[in-house]
Structure 1
Amino acid sequence: MKNLILAFACFCSSFLMAQNGIMPTGVITPPEKVRFTFEKEYPKKVPVWSIEYVGDDNDEIRYEAKFNADNNTKALAVYDNLGNLKAYELQIPLSQLPQKAQAYLKNNYSAQAIREIAVVVDYKNKTTYEVGIEKENKFYDVVFDKNGGFDVIIQKD
């Protein structure tokens, strides 16, 4: 009887979470179109898939494939539910960041604050650089344009 009550409580809480727009994320298996596109673009790469709900009402689904581009470099490919590539993110060392961006970081943050650096190419072929920063126990993405010019800081949850 206790198991039945517990199962019912879990069902109700899951239903309420879905009603409030709280969608679980985690490791998933994407649709065939998405997997096919990934395998075509990145043959012999083994992704770890996750799902993210985006948009004004969390009404758009994005499938994220995290994988090793090579032995030392991590990458992320983001697809919509039709298998269209929406963004590609590649981890890079500080030395590959444009000089202008390196100077900005040096003037505004300690070297210990920098957690990760990536070059991002979106579906419009727009290139940006994102630098993950930790400051006062909060995480931020400092975004630079393709020439290394400062664009925006985004606080992460």
Structure 2
Amino acid sequence: MKTSFKNLFLLFFIFCGLVSQAQNDGRSRIERNVPLVVAESFNAVFSAKDPVWFTRYQGENNQELVYEAKFIFNNRYCKSVYDFNGNQIVFAATVDYRELPEGARKYMEEKYPFFPIVEALMVTDNENQVTYEIGVYIDNQYMIQVFSKEGDFIKNTKP
């Protein structure tokens, strides 16, 4: 009887841990109930676009809920991220390889000549700082190489 109670107690804690991890894993989820202030903020800039909305948690310990609008703008896949108060945090748009700064292209050709680029984005943050993010798979891990507007290497990160 004691052993089955201990096993049941252990299973309960494992289940609670999995549930809490599932709620804060940072992955995007489709959102149908976007706050009005967030939708109005998006429509003020991209009024003619019809986005698909997602929510995810980000920040330290995945505690900040953000809203992502994914849409097509100027024939590019775009993403605009907002906080709960409707403030735009970041805007990202896909770019072609030829549109990347020359320094970023040279860096990628020298450092990763055998790794194809999966995704290239031009990212503008809420302070109008422009960076370029280039996604590649290195040893079966997705890595993002970040470059300045001028093409200078800044850092590499894992999403």
TM-score by length of 2: 0.81
More displaced stretch, 86-95 vs 57-66: 57-66
The corresponding residue for 1:77 is 80
Query: Deviation string for 1:87-135 (max 9, x for gaps)?
Result: 0001010111111111001111236520011100001111100001112
In the alignment, what sits opposite 1:27?
Answer: 30
User: d(CA) in 2 for partners of 1:28 and 1:57?
Assistant: 21
Residue 18 of structure 1: aligned partner: 20
What residue number does 1:46 align with? 50
Percent identity (aligned): 31
The one of 82, 104, 107 equivalent to 1:101 is 104
**Which residue is equivalent to 1:113?**
116
Per the alignment, do residues 40 and 144 of structure 1 end up closer, same or farther by CA in structure 2, a change over 3 Å counting? same
The answer on 1:57 being equivalent to 2:61 is yes
* Alpha-carbon distance between aligned partners in 1 of 2:21 and 2:113, rounded to the nearest angstrom: 43
Residues 113 and 135 in structure 1, CA contact (< 8 A), matched pair in contact too: no
Quote the Cα distance in structure 2 between the aligned partners of 1:146 and 1:122: 12
Q: Distance in 2 between matches of 1:19 and 1:111?
A: 36
Query: CA offset at residue 145 of structure 1?
Result: 0.9
Q: Which runs of 5+ in 2 are unaligned?
A: 1-14
Secondary structure (helix, strand or coil) at the match of 1:107 reads: helix
- Which AA in structure 1 matches 2:53? W
Q: CA RMSD in A?
A: 2.2
Q: Residues 111, 83 of structure 1: CA spacing in aligned structure 2 closer, same or farther, 3 A cutoff?
A: farther
Q: Is the 2:115–2:138 contact (alpha carbons within 8 Å) kept by the matching residues of 1?
A: no
Q: Which runs of no fewer than 5 residues in structure 1 stay unpaired?
A: 1-12
Q: Runs of 4+ in structure 1 displaced over 4 angstroms?
A: 13-16
**1:16 and 1:133, CA in 2 relative to 1: closer, same or farther beyond 3 A?**
closer
- Please tell me whether the aligned partners of residues 21 and 58 of structure 1 are also in contact (alpha carbons under 8 angstroms): no
Paired AA for residue 50 in structure 2: V
| Rg larger in structure | 2
